[in-house]
Amino acid sequence: MKVPTRITDCPERQMLEYILDHTRAELIGTVRGLSETQARRRLVPSMTTSIGLLKHAAFAERKWFQHILGGLPESECDGAMVGEASFLVSDDETVADVIAEFERASDRARTIAAEVDLDATRQHPSVGTVSLRWIYLLMIQEFARHAGHSDILREQTEATRHPRSS
């Protein structure tokens, strides 16, 4: 997407798409350059890891854009559609694999959304009626939150490699 001179002067849809793409890139940036061990490092009591956050984001792209917005049955979506298990990354998946998975899911989301008006609505089984605008805002919120989590995990990982001297 072409970066506008002033994002605040753009039509709403272009602004939402730009911000969503920016949060996607920020989330990828928190994982890019980490070793396989660093990306899988658990630094909090939950199963949260940097690579797991990105894996979950790919799931969210598929769930909201392919399944809810695009109307595809879960069995026809491009990858796992299992809620909490979406944070789990198999031993044979690399950081590059998970980044590529997220990028593929994001590309497909863009393609599906391009054909839908911001005010068009779909039904979510537990949330109810949602518009594309609402889905964009949800994904911006979700990816920004996960990028923040992953930023902190990365900072903790890098602090253990290069501890500050007192």
Side chain identity at residue 110, one-letter code: R
Side chain identity at residue 37, one-letter code: T
Domain count, the chain: 1
Residue 86: partners with Cβ closer than 8 Å, 6 or more residues away: 55, 56, 58, 59, 60, 80
pLDDT tens across 30-73, in order? 999 999 999 999 999 888 999 999 999 999 999 999 999 999 99
Domain that holds residue 18: 7-160
Residues of the chain with pLDDT > 90: what percent?
Answer: 77
DSSP 44-105: SSSS--HHHHHHHHHHHHIIIIIIIIT---GGGSSS---TGGGG---TT--HHHHHHHHHHH
Report the CATH number at residue 23.
1.20.120.450
Q: What is the pTM of this model?
A: 0.90
pLDDT tens across 66-123, in order? 999 999 998 888 877 776 678 889 999 999 999 999 999 999 999 999 999 999 999 9
Instruction: Flag whether 56 is in a domain.
Output: yes
Instruction: Flag whether 12 is in a domain.
Output: yes
How confident is the model over 131-148, as a mean pLDDT?
98
Instruction: Flag whether 165 is in a domain.
Output: no
Distances (CA, A) of 93 to 52, 100, 144: 11, 11, 24
